[in-house]
């Protein structure tokens, strides 16, 4: 929802998207539950209703994004493959939005295999939010 939100409004000073689905078209073909997604959450397969997939994919709203956004993903995530995050990161970088991509090695969806990885995610998140939300943070708009 964070990736979706930053494409719909610029009301937030910063955002952190954890293993976001950013492109439903590629998501149903590359994740471990694509059949469920296509049959329950979308209107069939991408080739049956591509507009539905595009309309609900944060990537296609990248042109609207101004909010500094940190993206975090495990590099062994089969629920939301890392390519989703990489694609979104590239879109924000190309547009000049302040963004960073934290790729956690050896982690799957949820990033919880190693306590040090969980601590790293929390520290990265706090540092990013402090950069933009702390009382003396620089506001970029």
pLDDT single digits (tens) 76-96: 788 888 999 999 999 999 999
> Which strands, in side-by-side order, build the sheet including 15-18?
15-18, 69-74, 99-104
Q: Is the residue at 31 inside a domain?
A: no
CA–CA separation, 22 and 117 (whole Å) = 23
Q: Is the residue at 27 inside a domain?
A: no
Domain count along the chain: 1
Q: Is the residue at 49 inside a domain?
A: no
CB 75 within 8 A of CB 82: yes
Helical segments of 58-136, H only: 82-95, 115-133
pLDDT value of position 73? 93
CB 27 within 8 A of CB 37: yes
Q: Is the residue at 42 inside a domain?
A: no
Look-up: residue for tokens 């990265």?
124
Structure tokens at 41: 């959450």
Structure tokens at 12: 């937030």
What would the pLDDT profile of 9-63 be if each residue is shown by its tens digit? Answer: 999 999 999 999 999 999 998 888 888 888 888 889 999 999 999 999 999 999 9
Q: Which domain holds residue 15?
A: 2-22+57-133
What would the pLDDT profile of 124-137 be if each residue is shown by its tens digit? Answer: 999 999 999 877 76
Which CATH number covers residue 102? 3.40.50.1820
Q: What is the pTM of this model?
A: 0.89
Q: Is the residue at 99 inside a domain?
A: yes
Contacts of 111 (CB under 8 A, 6+ apart): 18, 19, 72, 74, 104, 117, 118, 121
Q: Is the residue at 36 inside a domain?
A: no
Of the pLDDT bands very low, low, confident and very high (cuts 50, 70, 90), residue 141 is low
- b/e for 49-72, b at 16 or more Cβ within 10 A? eeebbeebbbbbbbeebbbbbbbb
């Amino acid at each position: 929802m964070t990736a979706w939100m930053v494409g719909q409004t610029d009301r937030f000073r910063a955002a952190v998207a954890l293993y976001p689905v950013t492109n439903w078209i590629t998501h149903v073909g590359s994740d471990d539950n694509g059949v469920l997604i296509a049959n329950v959450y979308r209107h069939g397969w991408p080739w049956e209703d591509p507009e539905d997939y595009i309309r609900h994919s944060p990537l296609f709203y990248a042109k609207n994004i101004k909010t500094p956004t940190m993206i975090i993903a495990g590099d062994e995530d089969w629920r939301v493959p890392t390519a989703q995050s990489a694609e979104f990161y590239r879109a924000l970088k190309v547009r000049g939005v302040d963004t960073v991509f934290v790729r956690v090695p050896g982690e799957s969806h949820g990033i919880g295999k190693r306590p040090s990885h969980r601590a790293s995610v929390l520290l990265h998140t706090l540092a990013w939010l402090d950069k933009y939300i702390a009382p003396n943070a620089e506001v970029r708009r």
